[in-house]
Amino acid sequence: MAGTDDDAVVTGDDDALYVLTAVLLTPAKFPSVLGDDYPEACAALGLAPLADGYGLVIGQDSDGARWTVVIDDVSLVAVAIASWDCGMEYDLSPDERTVVAALPGWPLAVAVAAPGVPAPHDPEPELTERPPLCPPDTASWGPAQRRLGADEIALQWAIWREQIDDGDFAAPKDGEASAEEDGRDEAEDGEGGSESRGGVRRVLAEARSYVETPPPLGRVRSSFATGDARTLRADGPGWSMVARTDDIAFVLLDEEPGEVLPVGRGPELPGLLEALDKMAVRPS
User: Which residues are registered as beta bridge partners of 21?
Assistant: 58
| Segments of the chain with pLDDT less than 70 | 1-14, 170-195
**Helix pair angle (269-279, 193-212), 10° resolution:** 40
pLDDT at 2: 33
Same domain (yes/no): 268, 163: yes
pLDDT at 171: 52
Same domain (yes/no): 186, 115: no
Expressed as residue numbers, the domain containing 67 is 6-127
Same domain (yes/no): 56, 148: no
Q: Is residue 235 included in any domain, yes or no?
A: yes
pLDDT at 137: 85
Same domain (yes/no): 147, 275: yes
Distance CA 255, CA 257 (A): 6
Same domain (yes/no): 122, 210: no
Same domain (yes/no): 15, 84: yes
Q: Is residue 136 included in any domain, yes or no?
A: no
Nearest CA to 31 out of 142, 150, 160, 130 is that of: 150
Same domain (yes/no): 23, 114: yes
33 contacts 65 by C-beta, under 8 angstroms: no
Residue at a domain's end among 98, 127, 156:
127
Q: Is residue 138 included in any domain, yes or no?
A: no
Residue at a domain's end among 127, 162, 193:
127
Nearest CA to 105 out of 130, 71, 73 is that of: 130
Same domain (yes/no): 169, 61: no
Q: Is residue 134 included in any domain, yes or no?
A: no
Residue at a domain's end among 127, 158, 186:
127
> Structural domain tally of the chain?
2
Q: Is residue 183 included in any domain, yes or no?
A: yes
76, 103, 188, 265 from 82: Cα distances, Å: 10, 24, 40, 34
Q: Is residue 132 included in any domain, yes or no?
A: no
Nearest CA to 253 out of 183, 177, 169 is that of: 183
pLDDT at 195: 67
Same domain (yes/no): 24, 149: no
Q: Is residue 200 included in any domain, yes or no?
A: yes
Same domain (yes/no): 158, 103: no
Q: Is residue 217 included in any domain, yes or no?
A: yes
pLDDT tens for each residue of 164-199 = 988 777 554 444 445 444 544 434 444 456 667 889
Same domain (yes/no): 149, 264: yes
Same domain (yes/no): 183, 246: yes
How many CB atoms lie under 10 A from the CB of residue 197? 19
pLDDT at 102: 94
